[in-house]
Homo-oligomer: A and B are copies of this chain.
Amino acid sequence: MPPPRRLPRLLTISLLPLSLALILRPLLKLPSSLALPALETNLGFAILAFVAVVHLIPALGENFIKAGLKGRDMLKTYDDPIPECQGLICAAVYITLLTLFIPFPFSSFFARDRDTSLAGLAKGDFPHQQLATYLSALLSFLAATMLGLLDDLFDIRWRYKLPIPIIASIPLLMVYYAEQGLTTVVLPIPLRPFFGTIVQLGPLYYVYMSLLSTFCTNAINILAGINGVEVGQALIISLSVALNDLLYLPWPYTLRVGSKVLGGEWGAGLAFGSKELVERHLLSLYFMLPLIGVCAGLMFHNWYPARAFPGDTLCYFTGMAIAAAGILGHFSKTLLLFFIPQIFNFLLSCPQLFLIVPCPRHRLPKLNKDTMLLNTSEADLSNEPPSSLRDLVLQLLAFLRLTRLTTDLKTGRITACTNLTILNVLLYWFGPMSEEDLVVRVMLTQCAGSALAFVVRYGVAGLIYDGDRR
């Protein structure tokens, strides 16, 4: 195994004072450049989170190996134990910093000398009542981390594993109920003549919320197996969510598109002056910035060749954090758009998950030890009884160039197919490549997915939704 990575000392030396300055400036009542002092603090905590995770992972690795939380890298030639479950360090740093962050937006500290006339913003950054919501989210994150750690420790079976995020989402749901949160959904224009503009989902809304957290968690967990891919997904998705949130905050300039006026400090971005929308996206941003920090920190050590593995813990807590941002920010439909590659991967996997096509224990690409390149891995069908459903599904997928079939020339029967994952599709399309090249392509796919998501959300959605965004 290559030696541990170290952050250049110069970077640590410059990042630490920067983060502390951002955190302490509002405390010292220095004039703030931003309209939102708590957001400045949050950014400081995000940088601190990155520095902390980058330094803690190599420092604690040995302890994880000693406690049995270790694994070997299946796509390498060496056999050294690599610390597993490093998502636990991310989660600990993330939750601790979010806890220390509590007084900044929620105490009356900043309310005193604030300009209350700023459009879209109440006195202080945040309504005091939202504290309970914020705390319920922290409880859900901690519960998800705990359950992730238990999963890593006890190796829980798949059928028990799938509903685990539902348990972790209970605090979120309970407080949502106690606070009498919205349970309505705004319908697209074509459906309105039938159901009205707003539909009251009632208890179904709670089912929807818990399914969303299950989806986010498992979506990240399923697209896994090569260095950097789990934490990379979480990083790009949280960056996309943060970017989307930023569109709704007060802008330092005003943009004119034809007759439309967008943003500006008084128009509060795409929120068009709606205090509620600003607050929701601010809350989401408070969760996302430190998440980006910890994910970037882990990425530094998990990038090819990995010195640390994220473990299920990472998927659980990042999935829950992203879901909570979407739920509490009331933009769950937009959030799902950022999971386009995961949804594609899940749909593609379905024939194997539901055993229409046989599913080997591991569907990882195969390492060719001579060329050190990854190749597609295959499911062996030669000993399976014939099935016309299976053949139909595989023929369709092969026609879409999503799997490569091997056919027995004599009998015409399909004897093998490449495993149905996005990783194998990329290897099929672009040919054998190194693990690093593959993870780069997955990340580029994720970025392309996010770009598509923004086009759909702010281009296409205008055709079926009006400005009504309750």
The CA of A95 and the CA of B107, in the complex, are separated in Å by 26
Contact call A99/B142, Cβ cutoff below 8 A: no
CB distance from A122 to the nearest CB of B (A): 16
The CA of A100 and the CA of B171, in the complex, are separated in Å by 8
Q: Which of A131-139, A384-392, A416-424 contacts B (4 or more CB under 8 A)?
A: A131-139
Contacts of A108 in B (CB 8 A): 180
User: Does A45 make an interface contact (CB < 8 A)?
Assistant: no
Contacts of A95 in B (CB 8 A): 143
Contact call A63/B154, Cβ cutoff below 8 A: yes
Give 1 or 0 for each of A57-80: 1 = CB within 8 Å of chain B CB: 000000100111000000000000
Contact call A175/B138, Cβ cutoff below 8 A: no
The CA of A99 and the CA of B135, in the complex, are separated in Å by 12
Q: Which of A18-74 contact B (CB under 8 A)?
A: 63, 66-68
The CA of A138 and the CA of B99, in the complex, are separated in Å by 13
Output the nearest chain B residue to A95 by Cβ-Cβ distance: B143
Contact call A100/B131, Cβ cutoff below 8 A: no
Q: How many residues of A contact B (CB 8 A)?
A: 35
User: Does A106 make an interface contact (CB < 8 A)?
Assistant: yes
Contacts of A99 in B (CB 8 A): 139, 170-171, 174
Give 1 or 0 for each of A171-183: 1 = CB within 8 Å of chain B CB: 1001101111000
Contact call A146/B153, Cβ cutoff below 8 A: no
Contacts of A201 in B (CB 8 A): none
Give 1 or 0 for each of A123-154: 1 = CB within 8 Å of chain B CB: 00000000110011011001101100100011
User: Does A103 make an interface contact (CB < 8 A)?
Assistant: yes
Using CB atoms and an 8 Å cutoff, list the residues of chain A in contact with chain B. Answer: 63, 66-68, 95-96, 99-100, 102-103, 106-108, 131-132, 135-136, 138-139, 142-143, 145-146, 149, 153-154, 167, 170-171, 174-175, 177-180
8 closest A-B pairs by beta carbon, nearest first, are A135-B135, A102-B174, A106-B178, A107-B178, A131-B132, A132-B132, A142-B142, A67-B153
Known: A67-B154, A132-B135, A139-B139. 9 other contacts (CB 8 A): A68-B68, A99-B139, A99-B170, A99-B174, A102-B171, A103-B178, A107-B180, A145-B146, A146-B146
